[in-house]
Chains A and B, each alone.
Chain A
Amino acid sequence: MTTDRIEKSVVLKASRSQVWRALTSADQFGAWFGAKMNGPFVAGMRATGRITIPDYDHLNLELLIDRIEPESLFSYRWHPYAVEADVDYSSEPMTLVEFHLADDPGGIKLTVIESGFDQIPIARRATAYRMNDGGWAGQMQNIARYVTGLPQ
């Protein structure tokens, strides 16, 4: 793992078309993601909606739909962690979120990759944390593992 991307995989006990619909039907996406979308997802178009997760339901969700390759790849760009309603994020770079589907003995393996964090100005939205008790040596080891991709 680098500082530029997050990658997650999960095996879903469902058919490929079920997983695909859950990702690319705006209503189904909203149902699990926690948003009420205003319209369908169309490649190259903007999709807007409202977050429905408690404590965040004052926030709008905006996705720039990137690629829709049936039952294989769905991707969009967005402003990650855009949790302050009064902040205009439009001038900031976006990250790219990709959902890749692959066959797996247990069902469908879904891999999510979010990339492009290198150019994101983070301090405004980053949670402020104080140094933890591990001190600098421990902290630096964490960082070293973090940016070199070694297991934590």
Chain B
Amino acid sequence: MTPAATSRQVGGHHTAPIFAALGDETRLALMLRLGSGGPHSIAQLAAESPLTRQAITKHLEVLGAAGLVRSDRRGRERIWNVQPDRLDEARQFLAEVSRQWDAALGRLKHFVEE
């Protein structure tokens, strides 16, 4: 990482608990569906799911609050779409922390074994 690459706000969602939003099987399934199938309306998602429209809406709003999905109004419907940057940031953040631990443990190993 470089200092220049450490900071960016996306859509003002800088305090959203993004990992908590993803840590739910139902929401993950919704993300997978939107991610692989493209934009969907609530009605389309409900037709392919045992969940009610209300339940799906609630989960999408949690994902939306974390900046992971966005809805656009199309006529009388809201069409939901994934926001790729946010999801990738979440993944890359943990990957970066993980990488730093690898490096630190490498230094520790060298330190105690030398």
Instruction: List the interface of chain A (C-beta within 8 A of B).
Output: 2-4, 6, 8, 10, 12-14, 18-19, 22, 28, 31-34, 55, 80-81, 83-84, 110, 112, 114, 117-132, 136-137, 139-140, 142-144, 146-148
- Chain B residues contacting A139 (CB-CB under 8 Å) are 35, 84, 87-88
How big is the B interface, by class?
Answer: 35 or more
- Chain A residues contacting B113 (CB-CB under 8 Å) are 12-14
**C-beta contact mask, B94-113 vs A, less than 8 Å → 1, else 0?**
10111011101101111111
Given known contacts A118-B23, A129-B92, is B101 in contact with A12 (CB within 8 Å)? no
- Chain A residues contacting B32 (CB-CB under 8 Å) are 140, 143-144
A147 to B31, CA, bound (A): 12
Point out the residue from A8, A33, A80 that lies within 8 Å of B107, measured CB to CB.
A33
Point out the residue from A2, A19, A127 that lies within 8 Å of B93, measured CB to CB.
A127
A140 touches B36 (CB 8 A): yes
Contacts between the two chains (Cβ within 8 Å), count: 157
Q: Which chain B residue has the least Cβ–Cβ distance from A125?
A: B6
A110 touches B105 (CB 8 A): yes
Q: Which chain A residue has the least Cβ–Cβ distance from B88?
A: A129
Q: Can you show 18 pairs from A to B with CB atoms below 8 A apart?
A: A6-B98, A10-B108, A13-B112, A14-B113, A22-B111, A114-B101, A120-B19, A121-B15, A123-B14, A123-B18, A124-B7, A124-B9, A125-B93, A130-B88, A131-B84, A137-B36, A143-B22, A146-B94
